[in-house]
């Protein structure tokens, strides 16, 4: 099931320059001229060539008969379970249905088997987006891999914090900074691209400063009729983007490029939906043939530098079109959440949706937030002491706080005043070890780039294993007692399918820091579309209440507790996305951002609508599977991979589906299924 190497891949690697040392080191590993495996940490700025180097390694591994597993952070939702599923898909195909621990054992056994007779390499690209997985990777996964296996970690920053605290991890990590190209390497690249004039090479080297992507785009501009190198002092990447857009052969492709820049990942169907027209295969192939459009597990993606620059130019030149495309992106993901949520995990779609939709309170916090990188890290056995130390320090240093922020777009003001006692209500008397033991998913720490714990969240999954214990919790117990017996029984689901989540604590080291609050909001957003309930009982302060009401929560009537100060009745707030609740919540969410969205009938009632559709179309069971995967955006080769059939078989099924549905192509099929025809 491992990826094949094409002649195109081989030719691409022949343009790689300035990486002789890194390539020689990897060759030594493949040739058994160095002992053991370990972790190689490749790091450097965006566009510097980390992903390209991983592709060179992939080619070399293939030539030596080694097993090379490559995962990009955008190819899976950032949980250990989803990472394991993505790995298993590369090794064997569709993973078996199993709980996280069982799948972990299955994947480890499969890797051990592969490592018996050949080299095995695991490469993780854009690792900066996997920060919340670092503790899981260290404590649950990497330490059990074969000793001779090599792990490649590529990201914008070097591994820090806990990776360096342990002498065992320190001795296994090899730091490999990926630098800009020096003059000699840059000139070598330019010659390979056919640029031989000394003066022109000096000019290109000077303006690109040796940044590989900038240098590559500079070469691409030399054939444009009106191409001129810009003067110093201008934004080089934006300038390159403007030049590149002029080189697109025709306006139709340029329009597709601009639309693709608004999407973080895309495929042909998504672009057709976004632009409300059929994008033919030829035009889409022209887009994917561009050098900075790269394949991903979920379709295609533009390189981050080019995407951000192109998107910025579109926003400045055509703000109305930009706003329209942003709305269509939000509508696409909202429809996808409604359509898929009853039968599949939609955490990835939710993350994408919230990229396009923000309520004013979150927007205000994000506007004031710092640009430093923070990440939520699930608690593990080795980090419990960190969490407990955080709580002790917060209680010791608590003080009154006052937070006042302004939304830059609407001008709405947020002001929250808390006494010293109120600021720590949600962590006083909390037993983190008990919640962790109850369900290991319950506690998460927000960490800075340096590894410092700056906030904590206790989000307890509601299921048959936690409900009996939560009935004795002084905060959640009264909520359960207020439920009718049938409503309480409905929460006692199997542990692998929680009925919802209870936010027992959401506490920030500095309650006035908008960065921490914005990160907390983003975390809770991920649980808002789970087709379950999300419950919280925050500080009994009117301003806090209004924040949660603005986020789409509703106050639970007739239920309260007095645990925080012993006297003040404190209410509960809930988001219930079961049944039609998810549809109503998404409508409110988009409406708060000024987007008037009317979900299709099929998406609003996916179960009954889908069953009636399959019945009316007379699809076979296998045709239904293929149709569902088409809706999710998978190509024919991906569908064949998932169903473990040939691509020819998938094409035959597609022909049958199109005929029964009365449509001519995949785009029309997608539109009809999600109600857009």
- 255-305 pLDDT, tens digit each: 899 899 999 889 998 999 999 888 888 889 888 877 678 777 778 888 766
Give the C-alpha separation, 137 to 60, whole Å.
26
User: How far is CA 631 from each of CA 93, 287, 507, 520, 624, rounded to the nearest angstrom?
Assistant: 20, 21, 39, 32, 11
Burial state string for 56-89 with b = 16 or more CB within 10 A and e = fewer than 16: bbbbbbbeeebbbbbbbbbbbbbbbbbbbbbbbb
Burial state string for 134-159 with b = 16 or more CB within 10 A and e = fewer than 16: bbbbbbbbbeebbeebbbbbbbbebb
Q: pLDDT exceeding 90 applies to what percent of the chain?
A: 38
Query: In sequence order, what are the residues at sequence separation of 6 or more whose Cβ sits closer than 8 angstroms to the Cβ of residue 604?
Result: 338, 580, 583
Give the C-alpha separation, 310 to 320, whole Å.
16
Closest CA to 44 of 168, 210, 241: 210
Give 601-610 pLDDT, tens digit per residue: 555 544 444 5
pLDDT at 245: 64
Please report which confidence band the pLDDT of residue 240 belongs to, taking 50, 70 and 90 as the band edges.
low
416 or 244, which is more confident: 416
pLDDT tops 50 at residue 228: no
pLDDT tops 80 at residue 557: yes
Query: In sequence order, what are the residues at sequence separation of 6 or more whose Cβ sits closer than 8 angstroms to the Cβ of residue 113?
Result: none
Give the C-alpha separation, 489 to 517, whole Å.
34
Give the C-alpha separation, 77 to 345, whole Å.
9
Average pLDDT, the chain: 83
The dihedral sign for the CA sequence 297, 303, 308, 313: negative
Q: pLDDT exceeding 70 applies to what percent of the chain?
A: 87
| DSSP track, 391-460 | HHHHHHH---EEEEEE-TTT--EEEEEE-HHHHTTTTTT--HHHHHHH-TTSEEEEEETT--EEEEEEEE
Question: What SS3 class is residue 229?
Answer: coil
pLDDT at 1: 44
Q: What is the average per-residue pLDDT within 422-449?
A: 93
H or E element, residue 43? strand 38-43
pLDDT at 361: 55
Give the C-alpha separation, 643 to 620, whole Å.
15
pLDDT at 264: 86
Give the C-alpha separation, 475 to 512, whole Å.
24
- Residue 274 per-residue DSSP state: H
Please report which confidence band the pLDDT of residue 443 belongs to, taking 50, 70 and 90 as the band edges.
very high
Closest CA to 140 of 84, 182, 194, 86: 84
Q: What is the average per-residue pLDDT within 606-626?
A: 65
- Structural tokens at position 378: 């699930």
Question: What SS3 class is residue 533?
Answer: strand
Give the C-alpha separation, 268 to 253, whole Å.
13
- Residues 618/657, Cβ–Cβ less than 8 Å: no
pLDDT tops 80 at residue 526: no
- Residues 479/569, Cβ–Cβ less than 8 Å: no
Question: What SS3 class is residue 55?
Answer: helix
Closest CA to 538 of 502, 513, 501, 573: 573
165 or 28, which is more confident: 28
- Residues 122/57, Cβ–Cβ less than 8 Å: no
Q: What angle (nearest 5°) sits at the alpha carbon of residue 394, between those of residues 388 and 396?
A: 105
Give the C-alpha separation, 341 to 159, whole Å.
35
Please report which confidence band the pLDDT of residue 25 belongs to, taking 50, 70 and 90 as the band edges.
very high
Q: Which residues lie across from 443 on neighbouring strands?
A: 458
User: How far is CA 479 from each of CA 502, 559, 561, rounded to the nearest angstrom?
Assistant: 10, 6, 8
Q: What is the average per-residue pLDDT within 457-472?
A: 96
Closest CA to 544 of 586, 572, 566: 572
pLDDT tops 60 at residue 366: no
Q: What is the average per-residue pLDDT within 308-318?
A: 82
Closest CA to 98 of 622, 88, 90, 501: 88
Q: 612 — phi, psi (to 5°)?
A: -70, -35
Query: In sequence order, what are the residues at sequence separation of 6 or more whose Cβ sits closer than 8 angstroms to the Cβ of residue 105?
Result: none
Q: Choose the weakest-confidence range: 54-58, 179-183, 514-518, 531-535.
A: 514-518
Give 101-141 pLDDT, tens digit per residue: 999 999 999 999 999 989 999 999 988 888 789 999 999 99
pLDDT at 176: 93
Q: Which residues lie across from 406 on neighbouring strands?
A: 413
pLDDT tops 50 at residue 193: yes
| DSSP track, 195-220 | ---HHHHHHHHHHHTT-HHHHHHHHH
Q: What angle (nearest 5°) sits at the alpha carbon of residue 36, between those of residues 31 and 42?
A: 85
Give the C-alpha separation, 548 to 124, whole Å.
37
Q: Which residues lie across from 508 on neighbouring strands?
A: 455
Q: What is the average per-residue pLDDT within 226-235?
A: 42
pLDDT at 212: 86
Rounded to two decimals, what is the model's pTM?
Answer: 0.62
Closest CA to 565 of 535, 582, 598, 540: 540
pLDDT at 615: 60
- Structural tokens at position 197: 């004039």
Give the gyration radius of the chain's Cα atoms.
Answer: 26
137: left (phi > 0), else alpha (psi -120 to 50), else beta? alpha
Range from 358-367, 372-381, 416-425, 562-571 that averages highest in pLDDT: 562-571
Q: Choose the weakest-confidence range: 113-127, 319-333, 429-443, 538-552.
A: 538-552
Please report which confidence band the pLDDT of residue 247 belongs to, taking 50, 70 and 90 as the band edges.
low
Closest CA to 501 of 529, 468, 465, 462: 462
End-to-end CA gap in the chain: 36
């Amino acid at each position: 099931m491992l990826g094949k190497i094409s002649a195109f891949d081989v030719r691409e690697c022949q343009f790689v320059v300035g990486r002789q040392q890194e390539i020689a080191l990897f060759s030594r590993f493949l040739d058994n001229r160095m002992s053991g495996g370990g972790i190689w940490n490749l790091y450097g700025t965006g566009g510097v060539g980390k992903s390209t180097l991983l592709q060179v390694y992939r080619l070399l591994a293939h030539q030596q008969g080694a097993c090379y597993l490559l995962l990009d952070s955008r190819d899976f939702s950032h949980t250990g379970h989803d990472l394991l599923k993505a790995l298993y898909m590369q090794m064997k195909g569709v993973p078996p249905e199993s709980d996280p621990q069982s799948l972990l054992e299955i994947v480890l056994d499969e890797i051990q088997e592969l490592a018996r007779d050949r080299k095995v390499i695991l490469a993780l690209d854009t690792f900066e987006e996997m920060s919340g997985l670092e503790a899981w990777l260290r404590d649950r996964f990497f330490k059990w891999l074969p000793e001779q296996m090599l792990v490649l970690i590529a990201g914008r920053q070097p591994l820090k914090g806990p990776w360096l605290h342990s002498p065992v991890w320190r001795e296994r990590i090899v730091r490999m900074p990926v630098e800009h190209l020096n003059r000699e390497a840059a000139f070598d690249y330019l010659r390979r691209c056919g640029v031989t004039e000394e003066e022109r090479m000096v000019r290109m080297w000077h303006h690109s400063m040796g940044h590989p992507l900038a240098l590559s785009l500079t070469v691409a501009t030399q054939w444009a009729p009106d191409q001129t190198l810009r003067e110093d002092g201008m934004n080089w990447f934006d300038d390159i983007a403007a030049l590149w857009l002029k080189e697109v052969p025709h306006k139709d492709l340029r329009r597709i490029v601009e639309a693709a820049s608004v999407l973080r990942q895309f495929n042909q169907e998504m672009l057709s939906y976004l632009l409300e027209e059929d994008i033919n295969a030829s035009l889409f192939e022209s887009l994917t043939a561009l050098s900075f459009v790269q394949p991903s597990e979920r379709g295609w993606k533009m390189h981050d530098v080019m995407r951000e620059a192109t998107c910025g130019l579109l926003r400045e030149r055509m703000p109305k079109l930009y706003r329209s495309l942003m709305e269509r992106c939000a509508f696409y993901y909202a429809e996808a959440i409604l359509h898929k949520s009853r039968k599949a995990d939609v955490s990835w779609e939710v993350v994408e949706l919230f990229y396009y939709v923000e309520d004013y309170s979150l927007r205000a916090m994000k506007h004031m937030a710092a640009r430093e990188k923070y990440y939520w890290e699930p608690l593990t056995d080795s980090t419990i002491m960190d969490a407990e130390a955080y709580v002790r320090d917060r209680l010791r240093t608590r003080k009154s706080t006052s937070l006042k922020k302004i939304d830059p777009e609407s001008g709405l003001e947020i002001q929250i005043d808390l006494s010293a006692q109120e600021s720590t209500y949600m962590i006083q008397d909390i037993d983190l070890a008990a919640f962790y033991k109850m369900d290991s998913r319950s506690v998460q720490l927000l960490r800075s780039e340096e590894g410092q714990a700056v906030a904590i969240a206790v989000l307890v999954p509601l299921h048959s294993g936690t409900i009996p214990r939560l009935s004795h919790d002084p905060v959640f117990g009264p909520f359960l007692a207020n439920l009718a017996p049938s409503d309480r029984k409905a929460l006692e689901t199997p542990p692998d399918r929680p009925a919802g989540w209870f936010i027992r604590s959401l506490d920030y080291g500095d309650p006035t820091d908008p960065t921490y609050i914005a990160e907390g909001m983003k975390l809770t957003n991920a649980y808002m579309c789970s087709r379950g309930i999300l419950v919280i009982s925050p500080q009994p302060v009117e301003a806090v209440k209004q924040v949660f009401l603005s986020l789409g929560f509703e106050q639970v009537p007739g239920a309260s507790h007095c645990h925080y100060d012993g006297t003040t009745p404190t209410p509960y707030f809930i988001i219930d996305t079961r049944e039609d609740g998810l549809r109503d919540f998404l409508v409110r969410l988009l409406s708060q951002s000024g987007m008037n969205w009317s979900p299709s009938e099929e998406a609003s009632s996916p179960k009954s609508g889908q069953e009636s559709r399959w019945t009316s179309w007379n699809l076979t069971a296998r045709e239904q599977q293929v149709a569902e995967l088409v809706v999710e955006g998978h190509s024919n080769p991906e569908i064949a991979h998932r169903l473990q059939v040939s691509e020819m078989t998938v094409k035959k099924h597609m022909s049958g589906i199109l005929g029964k549905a009365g449509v001519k192509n995949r785009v029309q099929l997608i539109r009809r299924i999600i109600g857009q025809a």
